[in-house]
């Protein structure tokens, strides 16, 4: 029973890691940039949601507001910062590290601005669902209506994305732009616009992840840093190039960490992520579902 509880808890937090991994992979595929500012973008969007929630007291309106804020911020970051940086920084000897560092700078700006606007205090984020564990056959399990909502939302969001990517011409353009930007450009598709769209989409996913995780972790300017670490770990485990790999990576990481936390204690959680990452990278350098040879970025 205890193991089952641990697994269930792992799946619901793993779903959120999957969302973040999804956002990071989307951006990586389109721009070859690991968006470390995603933690800041997600927190910013969540604060927007919280502000709406406080003003009108409607959870759903706040959720939509946070996703929209994520979309807008994502597009803004791509258009205003990323284009400029990527263009300028790729010629230098530090080309491989420059985008990473630029994104860290952006993260710092986001966190500072959030601190100025909303303060550094840990604030709670409300839920529309009960947090009490549900009962199954008279046994209370640590899986609440809220956890169910998180899981279902992630599944729905992923399904919608899958349909968009696999079944629409927009999705086709996005995939094409990611793997062969020159060819795509030649075939008359505005690659830069597609790229912005990818960032916007990722931003929205980040906003959603923020609203889903905030009731559990509270919200503060830097409270999503760890979420980013785990989301990124999940993305790398999955292979960085594969959206499905990232989702699976997120679930695997969520379950793995939950088992370690449950049986060994919370202090080992973070080291486990590192060990898991290293072991997977050494055993299978391209990640669970990554393309071979993608490792050398």
* Residues 8-37 contacting another protein, CB under 8 A: 9, 28, 34
Give the range of 63-71, 129-137, 151-159, 164-172 binding another protein by CB under 8 A: 129-137
- The residue among 109 and 155 lying less far from another protein, judged by its C-beta, is 109
Residue window 219-258: x/- pattern of binding to another protein, with contact defined by CB under 8 A? -xxxx-xx--x--xx-xx---x------------------
DSSP β-bridge partners for residue 133: 144
**Residue 60 binds another protein (CB under 8 A):** no
| Among positions 175, 262, 284, 288, the unique one binding another protein when judged by CB under 8 A | 262
Show the tokens assigned to 248: 């699976």
Burial readout 190-223 (b: 16 or more C-beta within 10 A, e: otherwise): ebeebbbbbbbbbbbbbbbbbbbbbbebebbbbb
Q: Does residue 121 bind another protein (CB under 8 A)?
A: yes
Beta carbon nearer to another protein, 100 or 156: 100
CA nearest neighbour of 39 among 229, 228, 204: 228
What is the smallest separation between the CB atom of 264 and another protein, expressed in angstroms? Answer: 8
Residue 88 vs 190, nearer CB to another protein: 88
Residue 145 touching another protein (CB under 8 A): no
Residue 137 in the binding site for another protein (CB under 8 A): no
Q: Which of 97, 148, 156, 163 binds another protein (CB under 8 A)?
A: 97
Query: What does the block give as tokens for 29?
Result: 């595929």
Closest listed residue to residue 37, CA positions, set 91, 89, 112: 112
Told to check if 171 binds another protein by CB under 8 A, we report no
267 binds another protein (CB under 8 A): yes
∠163-164-167 over CA atoms, to 5°?
65
CA dist 200 and 178 (Å) reads 15
Closest to another protein by CB, 142 vs 171, is 142
Task: Please name the residues in contact with 51: beta carbons below 8 A apart, sequence gap of 6 or more.
Answer: none
Radius of gyration of the chain from its Cα atoms, rounded to whole angstroms: 19
**53 is a site residue for another protein (CB under 8 A):** yes
Per-residue mark of binding to another protein, 193-222 (x: CB under 8 A) = ----------------------xxxx-xxx
- The number of angstroms, rounded, from the C-alpha of 294 to the middle of its chain's C-alpha atoms is 21
Task: Give the contacts of 3 (CB within 8 A, at least 6 positions apart).
Answer: 259
Q: Should residue 283 be labelled a site residue for another protein when binding is judged by CB under 8 A?
A: no
């Amino acid at each position: 029973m205890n193991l089952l509880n641990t697994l269930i808890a792992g799946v619901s937090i793993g779903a959120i890691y999957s969302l973040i991994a999804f956002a990071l992979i989307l951006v990586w595929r389109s721009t070859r940039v690991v968006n470390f500012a995603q933690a800041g973008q997600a927190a910013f969007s969540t604060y927007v949601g919280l502000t709406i929630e406080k003003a009108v007291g409607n959870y759903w309106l706040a959720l939509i507001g946070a996703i929209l804020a994520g979309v807008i911020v994502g597009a803004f970051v791509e258009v205003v910062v990323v284009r400029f940086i990527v263009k300028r920084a790729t010629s230098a000897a530090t080309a491989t590290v420059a985008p990473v560092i630029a994104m860290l700078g952006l993260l710092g700006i986001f966190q500072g601005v959030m601190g100025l606007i909303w303060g550094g205090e840990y604030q709670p984020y409300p839920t529309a669902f009960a947090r009490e564990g549900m009962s199954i056959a008279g046994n209370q399990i640590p899986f609440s209506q809220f956890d169910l909502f998180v899981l279902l939302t992630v599944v729905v969001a992923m399904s919608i994305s899958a349909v968009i990517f696999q079944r629409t011409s927009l999705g086709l353009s996005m995939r094409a732009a990611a793997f062969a930007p020159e060819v795509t450009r030649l075939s008359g598709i505005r690659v830069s616009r597609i790229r912005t769209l990818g960032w916007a989409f990722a931003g929205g996913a980040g906003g959603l992840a923020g609203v889903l995780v905030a009731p559990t972790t509270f919200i503060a300017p830097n409270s999503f840093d760890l979420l980013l670490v785990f989301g990124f770990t999940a993305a790398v485990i999955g292979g960085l190039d594969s959206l499905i790999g990232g989702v699976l990576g997120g679930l695997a990481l969520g379950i793995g960490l939950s088992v370690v936390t449950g049986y060994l204690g919370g202090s080992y959680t973070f080291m486990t992520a590192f060990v898991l990452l290293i072991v997977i990278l050494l055993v299978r350098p391209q990640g669970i579902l990554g393309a071979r040879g993608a490792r050398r970025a």
